Chain A
């Protein structure tokens, strides 16, 4: 940057004598001083506006004739290092963005897919959910979680039908079909995108004949962009994509069980696609799905469509809130299938097309991903109601204000936790999780066991948010195993004894820094059916003392073992300690402490635990074949309904027989029957009673040691607001607000460069060389011997 470009140097502050002296000198100067100072300041981190630098430059001009040039340059470098150019040097972002309304965050793993029909991980949804808009979403503030319209005009009209398609009058009668009729709001438009660009004749501007096609290597090479209105057809098109097997939608199989005709539709598409591939030169030609009719999904009018389900599936409303059911314009598919686009990495996986508040303006997942405000966003207002405490917590300050509040979100790739954490502390990330290596620096536990921030965090104005995750980590028994599995009393007592011995309070303390809540049932807090307090404890593992749950003693576990026929943990057949096998993918030195802990827990009741370690793929193979005995696994909720947890113990979902999510292969006829009832009931007393009974059954049968629910700890800076955790919603970026001025001020305050240690190091280095220089000179002057 040229010296004259900096306003601080052009300014003529009358009150500052050194600068008055500087200006005439600079005007007279041949540019040497300006160049040197500019180069130095630029080199070390930006143009300085500090008076000290200006004084220095002026002094140097006056003295330059008096001292030898080399020495003068050394002096100026040294003094500059000492005084420092007072800008921040370690800012990883351009200085022009200091006060911009930008949200800064990081990611440690690049998203694999950005196609809404396929993406199914939180790292992918963190981006996709800001771009694509399914018809429904979760209310940001209300709890329990509540589904509300997003692009839909209202909640869906649900019709219960008999086998002839007539609406049922009797609410108690089981429907043959259920129709979801969804009306979307008119006037919603897509982000600007070349797929919508048209020529004067109304034909797509970019087609196979477009002359620049082979030279295009990124989306911005297609300069013309247009938009179009969102229609019901786009939602229907996306449901059809669910059934198109080359797209590998993870929920295709599940939806084929529910959406009428989807299975047959998939088969029809497979045939058509195979035929198209034979006819086409392209390896992956575009199959236009519009002409194919899907029986269960149809457009009613421009803004309405209907999805027909087999039987009843009340949880379908949650799926309608996920990206799988977000709209997909057919033009986008056509565009991305133009010849050579895939080979040049221009795909829907890389460049999403949505109607949401943001669009992906830069996708370089090896470096940075940038979401920018969608200029065509239809507008949405911040909610004006929530939980009772929300107003007091400041979550309603922006009620009814138009969203989004930020202009841009920049996510930088930072794979390692240490630099990520340090950049958060320097103010370069707005939000951070807490890694185990920085936990003690950030959090301490008060006398009552409450997690609170350390003094250094509080002094920096950092705030802590905690929330119990809608996830569970459990320790499972393979119910198909001869020793620990099955419905026999012997095996049940053995499992109960192990459940008591595995001390998850200790586990949470040692391995989770206290960030967990012991599970008594498969249902985590926040999910209907979960019971807090004494009512919710697992009586098999805990008893109540003074109104609080206390883990049963090892003596009680040993007594259960004895009843099971394993006195002191010994196998009656061999007379030796019972040997059980723990199949795990936890390998390497990092897992040693964890495995030792497991072994110690089993030793408490005299059982020898053998580890059968393998990589995660082998482990999954074992689970699929049912050759494991003991294992540990977890589940993260798809949606806030007890069905999404209890189905993991439902017989017809067993892993070995049906390749389902019932990894323990548990089967109990009464539980399965109750599950079938519970699944269709609305939340209420009747459903709660059924859930209570189901939980009592599995607590007695103990196919899992219930493990724990993780507690999420999130830190954010004081300039970041509307930070209420919402574990179900992923499209929360639009609610967030940044005070960019405060951030810029504090960043500058926290990141002033400290240069004196460098100068000191240089001086010491030079001093240490003096004897060597002396020796060299003496050597050179000495005579030959």
Chain B
């Protein structure tokens, strides 16, 4: 297995270089260093000299990827791409264009993101799997029919609706929790609403997906054998069927685990949660390339880790799987 993991990690290097390059090209197709300087220096009384000075200080006055004016290897290294993006491979995120340490900000802001994402994942998984198994148990009855109809309706509704509707109903109308905000000392009361909305918002799609997985299993021989042995239907469902449907479930869940750090862009923005999702959005809005590239790189790394973890988890739930 170790050889497999090392091989996968080596595969990750060209992927990360590619991601970096694409991020770089996309960002600088939309923005020029002059644009970034203007954004940071403000709107009023900004002189061309100040723009040049800003670029020079942050090394944005160099060519993007190829420097004709130098010799040898410096043609590639004395560029914005080399100087700004390659250090990421050593996980040196550097400073934002505003001068703040990105690594420190990420370490601080991942906790609020996790505070929402982890409960949503755990509670959501329990609820979605339970609901899906319930529908499968009552397959071909009114419970199943109306359950699927409800699930389709819920998955058709925009997440924005859940957020605004939840804030209105639970926060504004019923006065049960704060509408938005966050506090490190008293975080739980601010998390109730985004967690409920996160869980409820996922019911439709996830329940339907898991129902389909379980329906495929329910007609297998081992299920028939379990019933023949006189096991209760509840035990058949929650022990035998669930265990055998774990591989596709793990594919989705384990791959998503590392990405929990990255936070939710929309939820964090609407609830004023100071997580990594809002950090990324703010960076895009303020054209802070240093943060954007760091967050994209981090997201890619975490995604690759997630995929490797998924492969490893297969060997745990299914002994027939061998990683070679």
Contacts and interface: CB of A to CB of B under 8 A. Distances in A.
Nearest to B143: A772
A419 B171 CA distance: 9
Given A90-B176, A419-B270, A617-B31, A659 B53 contact: no
By CB atoms of chain A within 10 A, which of B57, B105, B168, B189 has the most? B189
A418 B165 CA distance: 11
B274 A89 contact: no
Interface in B172-186: 172-183, 185-186
Interface stretch (B73-81, B94-102, B208-216, B242-250): B94-102
A775 B181 CA distance: 45
Contacts of B279: 366
A657 B279 CA distance: 39
Interface string A751-768: 111110110000000000
Contacts of A254: 45
B60 interface: no
B141 interface: yes
A367 interface: yes
Contacts of A199: none
A423 B172 CA distance: 8
B155 to A, nearest CB: 20
A110 interface: yes
By CB atoms of chain B within 10 A, which of A45, A254, A752 has the most? A45
B271 to A, nearest CB: 8
A776 B133 CA distance: 13
Nearest to B181: A92
A661 to B, nearest CB: 8
B161 to A, nearest CB: 12
A251 B174 contact: no
Interface in A120-134: 120-121
B49 A253 contact: yes
A344 B143 contact: no
A367 B48 CA distance: 34
B41 A248 contact: yes
B47 A419 contact: no
B244 to A, nearest CB: 21
A120 B45 contact: yes
B114 to A, nearest CB: 15
A250 B190 contact: no
Contacts of A347: 99
B18 interface: no
Interface in A394-431: 412-416, 418-420, 422-423, 425-426, 428
A342 interface: yes
Contacts of B47: 253, 659
Contact of B39 (A217, A617, A758): A617
Nearest to B271: A419
A121 B42 CA distance: 8
Interface residues of B, number: 65
Interface string A732-762: 0000000000000000000111110110000
A254 B45 CA distance: 8
B278 interface: yes
Interface in B20-77: 30-32, 34-35, 38-50, 53-54, 57
A246 B274 contact: no
A110 B274 contact: no
Contact of A617 (B35, B101, B178): B35
B217 interface: no
Contacts of B95: 342-343
B11 interface: no
A345 interface: yes
A349 B96 CA distance: 13
A758 B174 contact: yes
A615 B232 CA distance: 64
A367 B181 CA distance: 8
Contacts of B238: none
A632 to B, nearest CB: 15
A753 B45 contact: no
A659 B272 contact: no
Contacts of A426: 172, 175, 179
Given A366-B279, A617-B31, A779-B233, A92 B178 contact: yes
Given A89-B177, A422-B179, A617-B38, A120 B44 contact: yes
A416 B138 contact: no
Main secondary structure of the interface of A (DSSP, over half): loop
A343 B95 CA distance: 8
A754 B177 CA distance: 11
Interface string B134-170: 1001100101000000000000000000001001100
A252 B49 CA distance: 11
By CB atoms of chain B within 10 A, which of A91, A416, A751, A755 has the most? A416
A94 interface: yes
A414 B180 contact: yes
Given A367-B274, A412-B272, A422 B35 contact: no
A615 B278 CA distance: 22
Given A112-B40, A246-B57, A416 B100 contact: no
A364 interface: yes
B293 interface: no
A753 B138 CA distance: 37
Interface in A345-392: 345, 347, 349, 364, 366-367
A34 to B, nearest CB: 21
B31 A754 contact: no
Given A254-B45, A345-B100, A416 B180 contact: yes
Given A422-B167, A422-B171, A772-B138, A753 B269 contact: no
Given A92-B190, A112-B98, A253-B50, A780 B232 contact: yes
Contact of A366 (B109, B172, B233): B109
B267 to A, nearest CB: 11
B7 interface: no
Nearest to B40: A112
A428 B180 CA distance: 11
B104 interface: yes
A689 interface: no
A609 interface: no
A759 to B, nearest CB: 11
Nearest to B232: A780
Contacts of B176: 44-45, 89-90, 753-755, 758
A613 interface: no
By CB atoms of chain B within 10 A, which of A246, A252, A367 has the most? A367
A686 B232 CA distance: 100
B186 A94 contact: yes
B101 A344 contact: yes
B274 A413 contact: yes
Interface in A28-48: 44-45
B167 A418 contact: yes
Q: Please list the 3 inter-chain residue pairs (A to B) with the smallest Cβ-Cβ separation, ordered nearest first.
A: A617-B35, A366-B274, A419-B180
20 contacts: A90-B175, A92-B179, A92-B181, A248-B41, A250-B46, A253-B50, A343-B95, A366-B109, A367-B272, A415-B270, A416-B270, A422-B179, A617-B39, A624-B48, A753-B175, A754-B174, A758-B174, A772-B134, A772-B138, A775-B143
Given A90-B171, A345-B104, A419-B171, 20 more contacts: A44-B176, A89-B189, A92-B178, A92-B183, A248-B53, A251-B45, A253-B45, A254-B45, A345-B101, A349-B99, A367-B183, A418-B167, A420-B180, A426-B175, A615-B30, A624-B48, A753-B175, A754-B174, A757-B174, A775-B138
